[in-house]
Structure 1
Amino acid sequence: MTPRLIRPVSLIRHLGVWRAPGAGPAWRQLAGALRLLILDGRLPLEARLPGERELAQALGLSRTTVSAAYGSLRDEGFLTGGQGAAARTGLPSTPGPRPVRSTLDPEAPEDLIDLTSAVLPADANVHAAYVRALERLPARLPGHGYESAGLEELREAVAAHYGRRGLPTSPGQILITHGAHNGLVHLLRLMVRPGDPVVIDHPTYPQALDAILAAGGRPLPVALPDNGEEGWDIEGLASACRSGAAMAYLVVDHHNPTGRLMRAAERNRLLTALKGTQTLLVLDETLVELTLSGDPAVSASTVDSPRIVRLGSMSKSVWGGLRIGWIRADRAVIQRLSQSRASLDLGVPVLEQLAAAELLTDGGAALSLRRPLLRARRDHLLKRLGEALPDWVCPRPVGGLSVWAQLPAPICSALTVAAAAEGLRLAAGPRFGVDGAFERRLRLPYTLPEERLDEAVERLARAAGKLAGARPPGRRQVADGPVY
């Protein structure tokens, strides 16, 4: 397969504002910016970058500067191909675990704070569930262990879980998967052909974008209103679906990354607007139970239709290491998925399914303890951001695990590189969009303890201060793609 060629104009758009006076040699800043693009997935692996001379001319740099940046990335394993040969993106192949800080900046502090993942650590309930699952495992060992749709008792527990939300569900409507992302991959393989448009709300979950592209789909973004409104562009979504979209992937319950919630009236309007289309509406409900303001039942949508598929997971509400998710869909869709999954995987480990069943039948006790913890951390982070970075706009999310902060200038990629030097790892705003969007945005999870959040904000403020002090007054920053 011919490697994808990244042309200079495209690479410059992805780089955005990558250079800051006084922040170190130009070659090191360029290498850091390119490294970040590779790690974020905005530059695909095995892609061919522009030649040294070509890129130097496009950036207005000397060829020596670009050559030094490429050479540094080759030494670290992020580029392949010797000097003078085509440089292709890659990842380090050093055996064994690689320190996180070395993939960002060799000079970053050892005590790195990672804000790229919005997940909670496991609590005591997870260990207890595994203990009970181990006690029940011997009864399963005489069987073959392959369950294409999942253990019956776990599917019953998931179906009962939907029933408590006001969505009567049978076990035959449930397929157990390796997390919600795995469920989306199965759906894309079954429903989407190469070149098919897939409607998404914009911004959206980065791994969903990756999955759509990997399946050959064409993401069709519909921007979330960003003029003080909190809802969705229902007319825009319906219009995009009428263009022949095979699928629409939406996160309507504590949207990742914005945290907003689609109200019942909007859901009804959307379903009405989609009547007569062939679009499969896939609702990612990974964060549905993480309501932090108001009644958790408010987010439990009872809007249903054979054209609606729901993705669920225990990774966000329980623990990321428990790779258990599910698909709730019409029986005919579940049967087709069960038949097609054998070419991708042979099911989910039995022990994890037994542990998940234990956790789902606790009556919501574990989540009732987690919500106050997350609420306190959300409010703590917002307070500290307001004190340390008063020119940032940080809306209070009604649920979910992160704040979608608006920066005073389109500097997110440059800030991410600067923060890495302070020992703070960030997920840049453009990672959540297409075509370089969201250079004014940054997702900040509040899943760490308060003292770690304090330190993270201090490091973030230092990085932002250095970046602001390095920008010449009056100089207009160029956004990496459109600003929403």
Structure 2
Amino acid sequence: MDPIDVAERLGRWSAGRGALYALLAARLRDLIDDGELPAGTPLPPDRVLAGTLAVGRSTVVAAYDLLQSEGRIVRRQGSGTRVAGHPLARPAETTSAPVFLDLLEPRADVIPMACAAPDSPPAELTECYARILPELAATTSDIGYYPTGHPRLRHAVAEYYRNRGVPTSFEQILVTTGGQQALSLLARCFLQPGDRVLMEAPSSPPALEAFRAEAAVVQGISPGLDGFAAAARKHLPALAYVIPTFQNPTGSVLAPLARRRLAETAAALGVPLVEDEVLAELGFPGFSTPQPLAAYSDAVLTVGSLSKTVWGGLRIGWVRAAAPTIARLARIRAVHDLGGDVPTQLAAAELMPRLATVCARLAPERKARHDHLRAEFTRLLPDWHAPAVTGGQTLWVRLPYGDGTSFTQAALRHGVAILPGSGLDPTGDSEHHVRIHYLHPPDRLTEAARRLAEAWRTYRPPARPIPAPPALAI
């Protein structure tokens, strides 16, 4: 593509503060994701684009390197730089994004094991909808716009935290359309292009994409407390993000003492700390859910959701934070969204006092499915390493050879959609891992394991690993 044409498409990309390469990468990312730079489009050489934009060559190189690590472009010696291929544009062996269309538009012949969430509403949820019908029918003088969330649900979520030993007021709760919107609002509120974010490596794909969407520079750290203080002092992050309970994707749980030290260290260093509690209620029988990090510091920003604990179609999430922060988030949300669905929020308010009961009732089934899939792997794929977890929804599987991205494509050709590990890792590591959920009924898990075993039997790793795809799964 002509460098002048690229420059015109980029428009005003250098306004604001932050690293120029991050700003440039952010604008190119938008052009690629919006389809203005289609798959296969050649991009100008580093020096040529740098000269056209009047920036240093290192700025263009760093921007290209960042986009390559995300799987959005491909750079090859002698072939130049091109926009990465679309999953349907080329054969599966060479595509850089193997499963994400199947995540968004599932096919009847594919067993989806990448996007993890309950696939049917529990009886308690339908009962809650029935309970709120009289209240809904009697509603008058209420247009239903609640940018911060319906008061009943905000009070119910605040009570939920008080019952867990975390003093919380109504003003400290913002209701969102799922946990993903909560993460996006926090990213928009706290980040500007070029800001650094500390994030566990590997970690949650939605959070990774939310931070990158704001042109932040994501710095990977080890899950848990190790290295947090040193990384915070070195990188001076604008935000940090952790999953202390059933870490996604590893399933690890941070011990109470480490939780306290992490929360207090972040507060002492002045680093806003986002605590993702979306999976916190998904312990197996006998597991006691630890206190949130917010129990140890008022500066913690807590994200929660009902989509993972109750039903994927129940798009209810929230942020618990200081009241001034909630007010800022509400103003940002109101620009795009004047509030969520009121009937759904009323039903969620009815459900919140019963959330622990619902999760406890469903826990034995999830544990049995976890055990069943691991047993099938032991029987059919004995050289795979799939450690047991004490809760959550997924297994973090290490492959004995090859890479997760190319094997994910092989699995899809055999009718199973799983998630490659490198797309979940801001450092680009974890290429030998895949993430697989175990929420299907046992007979379907057995069939999925059979298909994966057949895919593994015929799998031949490529000469060099395929670049990791953008992390769009949840």
What is the match of residue 248 of structure 1? 240
What is the match of residue 230 of structure 2? 239
Quote the Cα distance in structure 2 between the aligned partners of 1:56 and 1:276: 41
Q: Could you tell me how far 1:358 is from its partner in structure 2?
A: 1.2
Q: Given that residues 410 and 479 in structure 1 are in contact (C-alpha distance below 8 angstroms), is that contact kept between their aligned partners in structure 2?
A: no
Say which SS state the counterpart of residue 268 (structure 2) adopts: coil
Is 1:73 matched up with 2:89?
A: yes
- Counterparts of 1:282-361 in structure 2, within 5 Å, are 282-292=274-284, 294-298=286-290, 300=292, 303-361=295-353
What is the match of residue 176 of structure 2? 177
Q: Deviations over 1:303-362 (max 9, x none)?
A: 332320100100000011111111111112112222332112111111110010111122
Q: Which 4+ residue blocks in structure 1 deviate beyond 4 angstroms?
A: 1-4, 54-61, 69-72, 299-302, 475-481
Structure 2 portions without partners, runs of 5+: 1-5, 11-29, 46-72, 469-474
What is the match of residue 143 of structure 1? 142
Which of residues 411, 422, 427 is equivalent to 1:430?
422
Q: Could you tell me how far 1:465 is from its partner in structure 2?
A: 0.7
Q: Deviations over 1:423-481 (max 9, x none)?
A: 111111122113532221111101110110000000000001101xx46xxx9865858
Structure 1 portions without partners, runs of 5+: 5-40, 80-88, 102-109, 225-231
Q: Given that residues 263 and 294 in structure 2 are in contact (C-alpha distance below 8 angstroms), is that contact kept between their aligned partners in structure 1?
A: no
What is the match of residue 40 of structure 2? 49
Structure 1 residues 448 and 394: CA distance shift in structure 2, 3 A: same
Q: Could you tell me how far 1:100 is from its partner in structure 2?
A: 3.7
Structure 1 residues 393 and 140: CA distance shift in structure 2, 3 A: same
What is the match of residue 370 of structure 1? 362
Amino acid at match of 1:313: S
Is 1:414 matched up with 2:379?
A: no
Q: Given that residues 415 and 451 in structure 2 are in contact (C-alpha distance below 8 angstroms), is that contact kept between their aligned partners in structure 1?
A: yes
What is the match of residue 471 of structure 2? none
Q: Given that residues 324 and 353 in structure 1 are in contact (C-alpha distance below 8 angstroms), is that contact kept between their aligned partners in structure 2?
A: yes
Report the TM-score, using the length of structure 2 for normalisation. 0.77
Quote the Cα distance in structure 1 between the aligned partners of 2:264 and 2:427: 30
Quote the Cα distance in structure 2 between the aligned partners of 1:253 and 1:56: 35
What is the match of residue 221 of structure 1? 220
Q: Given that residues 406 and 466 in structure 2 are in contact (C-alpha distance below 8 angstroms), is that contact kept between their aligned partners in structure 1?
A: no
Q: Could you tell me how far 1:300 is from its partner in structure 2?
A: 4.9
What is the match of residue 382 of structure 2? 390
Structure 1 residues 98 and 309: CA distance shift in structure 2, 3 A: closer
Q: Given that residues 115 and 425 in structure 1 are in contact (C-alpha distance below 8 angstroms), is that contact kept between their aligned partners in structure 2?
A: yes
Which of residues 433, 444, 451 is equivalent to 2:436?
444
What is the match of residue 256 of structure 2? 264
| Alignment coverage as a number of residue pairs | 403
Report the TM-score, using the length of structure 1 for normalisation. 0.75
Structure 1 residues 278 and 373: CA distance shift in structure 2, 3 A: same
Q: Deviations over 1:242-279 (max 9, x none)?
A: 22211101111111111111111111221333343221
What is the match of residue 118 of structure 1? 116
Q: Deviations over 1:364-412 (max 9, x none)?
A: 3221211111111111111111111111111111110011011101321
Q: Given that residues 195 and 217 in structure 1 are in contact (C-alpha distance below 8 angstroms), is that contact kept between their aligned partners in structure 2?
A: yes
Once superposed, what is the RMSD of the aligned Cα atoms?
3.5
Q: Given that residues 113 and 424 in structure 1 are in contact (C-alpha distance below 8 angstroms), is that contact kept between their aligned partners in structure 2?
A: yes
Q: Could you tell me how far 1:59 is from its partner in structure 2?
A: 8.6
- Counterparts of 1:463-482 in structure 2, within 5 Å, are 463-467=455-459, 470=460
Say which SS state the counterpart of residue 405 (structure 1) adopts: strand
Say which SS state the counterpart of residue 436 (structure 1) adopts: coil
Say which SS state the counterpart of residue 274 (structure 1) adopts: helix
Quote the Cα distance in structure 1 between the aligned partners of 2:422 and 2:408: 11
Greater shift, 43-52 or 213-222, is seen at 43-52
Amino acid at match of 2:401: A
What is the match of residue 153 of structure 2? 154
Structure 1 residues 462 and 299: CA distance shift in structure 2, 3 A: farther
Quote the Cα distance in structure 2 between the aligned partners of 1:312 and 1:51: 42
Structure 1 residues 169 and 118: CA distance shift in structure 2, 3 A: same
Q: Given that residues 403 and 432 in structure 2 are in contact (C-alpha distance below 8 angstroms), is that contact kept between their aligned partners in structure 1?
A: yes
